[in-house]
Amino acid sequence: MGIVVQKFGGTSVADAVKIRKAAQRAIDAAKKGNNVVVVASARGKQTDHLIADAMELNSNPPRREMDQLLSTGEQQTVSLMAIAMHGMGQKAVSMTGGQIGMRTDSVFSKARIQSIDAKKIHAEFDKGNIVIVAGFQGIDENGNTTTLGRGGSDTSAVALAAALKADVCEIYTDVDGIYTADPRVYKKAIKMKQISYDEILELASLGAGVMHGRSIEFGKKYDVTIHVRSSLVDIEGTLITHEVPQMEGILVSGATSQKNLAKIGLIGVENTPGTAAKIFAHLAGAKVSVNDIIQTEVSKEKANLSFTVGNSDLLDAKTAIEELKSSIKYDKIFIREDIAEISVVGVGMRSHYGVANKMFDALAKAKVNIDSITTSEIRISCIVDEDQAETALIAVCDAFELDKPAEKRSK
C-alpha cells in the first residue's frame, strides 16, 4: 500500500464545489489502495481577510496572536473537507498542526518545522481514515500555535511526505505546473515537464510564488518526489526532481521577479574586521532574513554596505540597525522600498558563458536601469525600479526564449 500526500491551495478549496472536487481526488487515490493525507490551505483569500480584520484593530498586532488567528483559516477548510468526505461515504478525520504533532520553533509568522509525529497519522490510516491536515501551522514547545510564513502549506505537505516516506507529494494549484515564468506576467511562458530542486529553490526564493521555498529544501533533503499540477484538469504537471544530465544543457530554465522588497544601505561604514559580522549577527538575532548582500570598499577606512530584505522584515531590520548606532560607525543610512528584483535561473549557467551579458543587454534595450547585480552559480539577479518590473521580466524572458521548449531555443 502506497502513501500519497495531496496538497490543495486556497483557490482549489475556495467554495463547496471545489472542496468536493478536491475530496473526490483524495477518495480516488484511496480507492486505488493508497493511504492518503490531504493538506489544505485556507479557502480563497481567507488569510488576507483575516490579516485585514486584525489590521483594522491594531496596525502592529502581536505576532503570537496573528498566528493564532491565521491558523483558523486552514482549520475551517480541513473540517469542511472532512464533512464533505463523510457525506461522500469516505471515512476521514481532520487535524490541526498541533493535533498531528507538527512541532516548530517559536518564531511566530515564520516558524520552522522541527519534527513531525508520524505515528499519529499511521494510527488514523489503521482506522481507514483519510487524514486531512491543516497546512501552514504547527505548535511550539509551549503549546503555542505557530505559522510557517505565507504560502507555507506547501512546506507542511512536503514535510509530511518526508516524515511518512510518501511515494509522492502532489501540489494541486490553480496552474497546471511550473512555468518558465509566472504566466500571469509573462503570458507566453510555457510549462516545464521537470525542474531540479536547486532551480525551483532559487526561483521560489526569488519570487516565483508557485512553491514555498522551504518546501523545496525538505524535498531535496528527504528525496520527496513533488508533482505540481492542476486541481481543475487531470493532466500531468511538473515534476521536481534531482538534477539529471540533460538539465545542464539548458542555459536558463526560468525567470522570476520579486516585488515587496526593500534595500537598506549603509554608506561609509567603518572598514574594520568584524563590522559585517556584528551587523549580520544582530540582524540574525532579530530573526530578519537577509537576501542579497553587497559590500564595496571605498577607501582604507570606509566601505558601502547594502542588503535586501522582504518588506515584512523591514521594520525589524531598521530597528536592528538603529540599535547598532552606538557600536558601528557609518555616515548615512538609506532605504529604498520602490525596488524589484529580476532573476534568471538555470543549472546550465555553470557550464555556459554569456548569460549575464544577454540579460543586461535585454534590460538595456528595454530601457531598464540596473541598480545592483548579484549572482550565484545558477542565477543572475538585477535590482530595478519597481514600476519597471513587468517590462524587465518580459524583456528577459524574450531574450532567453522562455516562450519555447528548451530544445527549440537558439542557444
138 contributes a contact to ligand ASP by CB under 6 A: no
73 contributes a contact to ligand ADP by CB under 6 A: no
Per CB under 6 A, contacts with ligand ASP among 2-41 are 9-10, 41
Residue 343, C-alpha cell as written in the block: 532573476
Q: How far apart are CA 25 and CA 227, in angstroms?
A: 14
199 contributes a contact to ligand ADP by CB under 6 A: no
138 contributes a contact to Mg ion by CB under 5 A: no
215 contributes a contact to ligand ASP by CB under 6 A: no
Residue 257 CB, nearest approach to Mg ion (Å): 17
Query: Which residues lie closer than 8 Å to 69 by C-beta, 6 or more apart?
Result: 50, 53, 54
273: Cα within 13 Å, side-chain hemisphere: 0
Q: Which one, 103 or 110, has the nearer CB to ligand ADP?
A: 110
Q: How far apart are CA 262 and CA 104, in angstroms?
A: 28
Binding mask 27-56 for ligand ADP (x = CB under 6 A): --------------x---------------
71 contributes a contact to ligand ASP by CB under 6 A: no
Query: Which residues lie closer than 8 Å to 272 by C-beta, 6 or more apart?
Result: none
Q: How far apart are CA 319 and CA 75, in angstroms?
A: 34
254 contributes a contact to ligand ADP by CB under 6 A: yes
401 contributes a contact to ligand ADP by CB under 6 A: no
Per CB under 6 A, contacts with ligand ADP among 141-170 are 151
Q: What share of the chain is helix, strand, coil (3-state, %, to 5)?
A: 40, 30, 35
Q: Which one, 47 or 388, has the nearer CB to ligand ASP?
A: 47
In order, the DSSP letters of 257-295 are: EEEEEEEEEEEEEE-STTHHHHHHHHHHHTTPPEEEEEE
Task: Choose the one of ligand ADP, Mg ion, ligand ASP, none that binds residue 346, judging by a C-beta under 5 to 8 angstroms depending on kind.
Answer: none
For residue 24, with 0-12 CB atoms within 10 Å meaning exposed, 13-18 middle and 19 or more buried, which class applies?
A: middle
Residue 243 CB, nearest approach to ligand ADP (Å): 18
In order, the DSSP letters of 129-143 are: PEEEEETTEEE-TTS
10 contributes a contact to ligand ADP by CB under 6 A: yes
Contact between residue 239 and residue 288 where contact means Cβ atoms under 8 Å apart: no
Q: Which amino acid is at 67?
A: D
Which residue from 162, 175, 240, 252 is in contact with ligand ADP, where contact means CB under 6 A?
Answer: 175
Query: Which residues lie closer than 8 Å to 230 by C-beta, 6 or more apart?
Result: 172, 173, 174, 175, 176, 177, 237
Which residue from 151, 254, 310, 346 is in contact with Mg ion, where contact means CB under 5 A?
Answer: 151
Task: Choose the one of ligand ASP, Mg ion, ligand ADP, none that binds residue 178, judging by a C-beta under 5 to 8 angstroms depending on kind.
Answer: ligand ADP
Q: Applying CB under 6 A, which residues contact ligand ADP?
A: 9-12, 41, 151, 173-175, 178-179, 181-184, 208-210, 254
Q: Applying CB under 5 A, which residues contact Mg ion?
A: 9, 151
Q: Applying CB under 6 A, which residues contact ligand ASP?
A: 9-10, 41-42, 47, 73, 135-136, 150-153
